[in-house]
């Protein structure tokens, strides 16, 4: 394996779409992960899959918040451990199948119209997930920086 080989692989992790949509979309595209192949799993470990799950959870929580006043809307959430195991078991370590990790949330105080969204709970979960997403992303960016410096011989 040459430096050029690894440089091409690391460059794939910095495609323009990744940089343009870092928060609500997946950090790692399936096509980029396929190009990296099994090497990505060794380079980033569980963190790429964790970022994928946190991204998907952010979308679910945002949907709950958006439907807080929709009659009969049932709040959902993702069981992180189950989802992480499902994503890791997919080829390349990244995917969209949550493997049954998407669950309906049991409300502590259901509303009369059948809506189970508790806005304060959803907002808290969204904020916690956003912090976890940012910390995972910061770790991955640091790892990419380490790899880049190693390739440059710094």
In DSSP notation, the chain reads --HHHHHHHHHHTT-HHHHHS-SSS-SS-HHHHHHHTTHHHHHHTTHHHHHHHHHHHHHHHHHHHHTTTSTT---EEE-HHHHHHHHHTSGGG--S--TT-EEEPPPSS--TTS----HHHHHHHHHHHHHHHHHHHHHHHHHHHHHHHHHHT-
Specify the residue for token string 């099994």.
38
pLDDT at 40: 58
136 pLDDT more than 70: yes
Q: What is the pTM of this model?
A: 0.68
89 pLDDT more than 70: yes
Q: Are 101 and 82 in contact (CB under 8 A)?
A: yes
61 pLDDT more than 80: yes
Quote the domain boundaries for residue 110: 3-152
Does residue 58 or residue 26 have the better pLDDT?
Answer: 58
Q: Are 74 and 103 in contact (CB under 8 A)?
A: no
Does residue 105 or residue 122 have the better pLDDT?
Answer: 122
Does residue 147 or residue 41 have the better pLDDT?
Answer: 147
Alpha-carbon gap, residue 41 to 132, rounded angstroms: 20
Q: How many domains does the chain have?
A: 1
């Amino acid at each position: 394996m040459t430096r050029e080989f690894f440089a091409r692989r690391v460059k794939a992790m910095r495609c323009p779409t990744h940089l343009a949509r870092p928060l609500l979309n997946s950090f790692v595209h399936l096509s980029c992960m396929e190009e990296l192949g099994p090497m990505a799993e060794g380079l980033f470990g569980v963190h790429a899959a964790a970022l994928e799950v946190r991204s998907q959870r952010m979308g679910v929580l945002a949907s709950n918040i958006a439907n807080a006043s929709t009659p009969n809307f049932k709040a959902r959430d993702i069981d992180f451990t189950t989802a992480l195991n499902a994503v890791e078991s997919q080829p390349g370590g990244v995917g969209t199948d949550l493997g049954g990790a998407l669950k309906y949330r049991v409300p502590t105080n259901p509303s009369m119209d059948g809506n189970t969204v508790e806005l304060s709970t959803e907002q808290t979960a969204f904020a916690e997930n956003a912090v976890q997403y940012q910390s995972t992303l910061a770790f991955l960016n640091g790892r990419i920086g380490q790899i880049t410096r190693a390739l440059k011989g710094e």
